[in-house]
Amino acid sequence: MPIPRASAWPEGARCVVSLTIDFDGPCWEAGRGLSQRGYHAHGRYSAKRGIPRLMRIAEGHGVPITFFVSGYDAEAHPDTVAEMQARGHEVAAHGYLHEAWDVGAAEPELLKKTHDILTAILGKPVTGWRSPSGRKTALTMRTLKSLGYVYDSSDKDFDLPYLATIAGEVQRDFVILPNNTSSLDDYPFYRVSWTPTSEVLAHWQQEFDATYAEGGFFNLTIHPRSGYGSGTPSRAGVIDALLRYIKARPGVRFLRMHEIAQWCLREPARWQFA
């Protein structure tokens, strides 16, 4: 069976790349009732060092970022969130307390709370969301649509964009931009398997080569927390080297997630969706 792919990427690009960063600051500890000091201070590193370092690297390559930000982190660091937008990056939503539990009927209220916080800081509504835990339901999707969102980047079942389905009905105004948390996410490498940076770089280069050969969608997810992701110097160096590697290939476009979503939704007939 042939691999489904887009008939064409924006401006005739051969492959599109999105650099996405999950803020994951002190929200994680706050949601679990933990002190944000000492052993549990990893999240405080994000705004202090991780995000500024990663923005500097990406901007040095002329690459835009999509930041997924929790409501709690936005409240704690409104100036950082405002700066993301001022520097040309996209801000999207990522839960309120990085909820890693089933919030049930409380979810619409939490989604709206974060939406309102981000809208107040940015002066405009956000249009994208990524589940902090990977959990979502039909209620999640209906709520996101009611808030004006046009994409979700939580699913792991495909490696190209596709139209969302809610209660069996295909949505012509909402697209899924899958993220691969096994191969294209720094957390499993650095916090689970403790993989050396040299091996992480080699793995991501190989993943990009394969994606490029298929003319696909390379959606990299990284985290600026210390110990958990790519915010510290040597691990941020991997991102620097990877961007340099990707940019050496012709026909690559770096796009914010909302740009990909808008392009997909303008001409869905051009796609072979999952």
CATH code of 85's domain: 3.20.20.370
pLDDT digits (tens, 9 = 90+) for 238-273: 999 999 999 999 999 999 999 999 999 987 776 654
Q: State the pLDDT at residue 7.
A: 56
Q: Domain for residue 190, yes or no?
A: yes
Range 206-234 average pLDDT: 96
Q: How many domains does the chain divide into?
A: 1
Range of the domain at 168: 11-270
Q: Domain for residue 44, yes or no?
A: yes
Q: Domain for residue 3, yes or no?
A: no
Q: Domain for residue 6, yes or no?
A: no
**Which residues have CB under 8 Å from 41's CB, separation 6+?**
none
**Which residues have CB under 8 Å from 77's CB, separation 6+?**
25, 47
Q: Domain for residue 4, yes or no?
A: no
pLDDT digits (tens, 9 = 90+) for 209-218: 999 999 999 9
Per-residue pLDDT band for 11 (boundaries 50, 70, 90) equals confident
Q: State the pLDDT at residue 103.
A: 79
Residue 170 backbone phi and psi in degrees, to 5? -70, 130
Q: State the pLDDT at residue 1.
A: 36
